[in-house]
Amino acid sequence: MTAHKRVLCAPDAFKGTIGAADAAEAMARGVRAANHEPICCPIADGGEGTAALLAGALDGTMHEHATINAAGESITATFAMLPDGTAIVESAAASGLPQLPAHQRKPMGLTSMGTGELLQAAIDAGASSLWLCIGGTATVDGGLGLLQALGTRCIADEGMLPVPALPPSIDTLHELELPLGLPPIRGLIDTAVPLLGDEGAAQVFAPQKGATPEEVDHLETLLTHLASIADPEDLIRHVPGAGAGGGMGFAVALTGGVLESGAEVVLNAVGLHAALQDADLVLTGEGRLDGQTATGKAPIAVAQAAHHAGVPCIGIAGVLDGDIQELMDDDWFADLRSLADHCGIEAAMLDPAAAIEAVTCAALTPSR
């Protein structure tokens, strides 16, 4: 590759190992090692790190609040406030999978209530509108815990559902009374999956969150029951993104909120489209590139933006998994590289920054 290319480094976080900003800096070191000029532009799509990234780009401030994690344990999490009164809450901050040890990663016993408590804290702090970054969650409760924290009355066969309501109790639900007067909510989703079905929240994501095949089927049954109560006219359950965050997208839509691509919101906020005008090549990536990447994840949004700008894009992942050939067939990526293939999974996990730097340099260095 010709020297002195301007290379835009625009990765998302490599979940559980390295944040987006540090990943971008690691890419930049690899770019310099290959005698090119880096431009750093870390990105996100609604998952881990999105709120802080948006706060940095939009002059926001971060605020701490006591809440609970997905297992109901007390934690302190943060949300962002923008100068115009918009609050940005990240579901991964309270209900994220990486916060839980392996033995607690069982979605049948987990709740999204902590995320709802963060939203309520933002409202109490004077937020006039809410952005909920939906991604990276441990939960598959249809957002019921989130709704409870915002004041939803969940009426069951024998009185009110417990607070927080865990998925097994959903089958006794027969009425929801949603709160009135909530600020408008904008759900920033990292996937366009619906709530139900073979491509829905339970079937696609529950196995990744620790559910057994039997639990996946049971969660599908519970979410179907929740939808029959909360969405009897079939208006919301099939909306793209309703299944994001284990059904938090469904909960946001129930309140009258809108769902949109978190990646697109972030890309506009951080100025990626303008940065593309100065780039000869783009690098993007995250921990895993697979068949779900094309459903709304940050790397595909970057690759598509680069394609439309006429700039080639290379994807770098911790691992390449599943049907990634589709990503190549659609011409979004000029090349795909993985840390696992280059230096092994253990080495990549031990020092992800060094692995990203090495893979970047190798991707930009001509073979001899």
Could you tell me the residue ranges of all domains in the chain? 6-41+271-364, 50-262
193 — pLDDT class (breaks 50, 70, 90): very high
What does the pLDDT look like over 17-45, one tens digit per residue? Answer: 899 999 999 999 999 999 999 999 999 98
**pLDDT value of position 116:** 98
What does the pLDDT look like over 230-264, one tens digit per residue? Answer: 999 999 999 999 999 999 999 999 999 999 999 99
Average pLDDT taken over every residue of the chain: 92
The listed CATH number (3.40.190.10, 3.40.50.10350, 2.170.190.11, 3.40.50.261) that belongs to domain 6-41+271-364: 3.40.50.10350
Task: Please answer whether residues 313 and 332 qualify as being in contact, where contact means their C-beta atoms are separated by less than 8 angstroms.
Answer: yes
- Cis geometry, peptide bond prior to residue 240 (ω within 30 degrees of 0): no
Distances from the Cα of 98 to the Cαs of 91, 104, 193, 209, 321, in angstroms? 12, 11, 21, 10, 20
58 has pLDDT over 80: yes
**pLDDT value of position 4:** 81
CATH architecture of structural domain 50-262: Alpha-Beta Complex (3.90)
Q: Cα separation of 243 and 114, whole Å?
A: 18
State the pTM of this model: 0.91
Same fold? 6-41+271-364, 50-262:
no
